[in-house]
Copies of this chain bind each other. A is one copy, B any other.
Amino acid sequence: MPHPGHLPRRVWAALLSQLLRPPSAVCIRAVGCYSQVAEAVLTSQLKPHQKKPNFIIKVPKGTRDLSPQQMVVREKILAKIVSCFKRHGAKGLDTPAIELKEMLTEKYEDNIGLMYDLKDQGGELLSLRYDLTVPFARYLAMNKLKKMKRYQVGKVWRRESPTIVQGRYREFCQCDFDIAGQFDPMIPDAECLKIMCEILSGLQLGDFLIKINDRRIVDGMFAVCGVPESKFRTTCASMDKLDKMSWEDVRHEMVTKKGLAPEVADQIGDYVQCHGGISLVEQMFQDPRLSQNKLAMEGLEDLKLLFEYLSLFGIAEKISFDLSLARGLDYYTGVIYEAVLLQDPAQAGEEPLNVGSVAAGGRYDGLVAQFDPKGHKVPCVGLSIGVERIFYIVEQKMKTLGEKLRTTETEVFVATPQKDFLRERLKIIAELWDAGIKAEMLYKNNPKLLAQLHFCENTGIPLMVIIGEQEQNEGVIKLRSVASREEVIIKRENLVAEVQKRLSES
Contact = CB atoms under 8 A, between A and B. Distances in A.
Of A12, A139, A187, which is in contact with the most chain B CB atoms at under 10 Å from its CB? A187
A100 B183 contact: no
A370 B55 CA distance: 11
A116 B116 CA distance: 13
A34 interface: no
Contacts of A409: 86
Nearest to A3: B112
A312 B53 contact: no
Interface string A117-161: 111111111101000000000110111000000100001010100
A108 to B, nearest CB: 10
A4 interface: yes
Contacts of A105: 2, 47
Contact of A437 (B5, B70, B74, B87): B87
B309 A426 contact: yes
Contact of A433 (B57, B198, B430): B198
A485 B313 CA distance: 29
A51 interface: yes
Interface stretch (A59-67, A208-216, A266-274): A59-67
B64 A96 contact: yes
Interface stretch (A15-23, A239-247, A295-303, A338-346): A15-23
A92 B64 contact: no
Nearest to A50: B375
Contacts of A141: 57
A183 B17 CA distance: 49
Interface residues of A, number: 127
Copies in the complex: 2
A314 interface: yes
A444 to B, nearest CB: 5
A171 B10 contact: no
Contacts of A437: 87
B52 A14 contact: no
Given A59-B99, A88-B433, A313-B430, A118 B119 contact: yes
Contacts of A498: none
Interface in A404-428: 407-410, 422-423, 426-427
Contacts of A10: 125
Contact of A124 (B52, B60, B97, B369): B60
A187 B89 contact: no
Given A57-B142, A71-B94, A72-B92, A32 B122 contact: yes
Given A63-B98, A100-B59, A52 B375 contact: yes
B112 A121 contact: no
A59 B99 CA distance: 6
A81 B470 CA distance: 37
A113 to B, nearest CB: 6
A20 B142 CA distance: 36
A91 interface: yes
B138 A57 contact: yes
Nearest to A9: B20
Interface string A272-307: 000000000000000000000000000000000000
Nearest to A96: B63
A127 B96 CA distance: 16
A86 B408 contact: yes
A65 B95 contact: yes
Interface of A: 1-5, 8-10, 12-14, 16-17, 20-22, 29, 32-33, 36, 43, 47, 51-53, 55, 57-61, 63-68, 70-72, 74-75, 86-100, 102-103, 105-106, 109, 112-113, 116-126, 128, 138-139, 141-143, 150, 155, 157, 159, 171, 179, 181, 183-184, 187-188, 190-191, 194, 198, 308-309, 312-314, 369-375, 407-410, 422-423, 426-427, 430, 433-434, 436-440, 443-445
Q: Which 8 A-B pairs have the closest CB atoms?
A: A68-B91, A183-B443, A71-B92, A63-B96, A66-B94, A89-B440, A117-B119, A187-B443
27 contacts: A1-B112, A10-B125, A14-B120, A17-B121, A36-B120, A53-B371, A55-B100, A59-B99, A59-B100, A60-B98, A61-B123, A61-B124, A65-B95, A66-B94, A67-B143, A68-B150, A75-B92, A86-B409, A86-B438, A88-B440, A98-B128, A117-B121, A183-B444, A184-B443, A194-B433, A309-B426, A313-B430
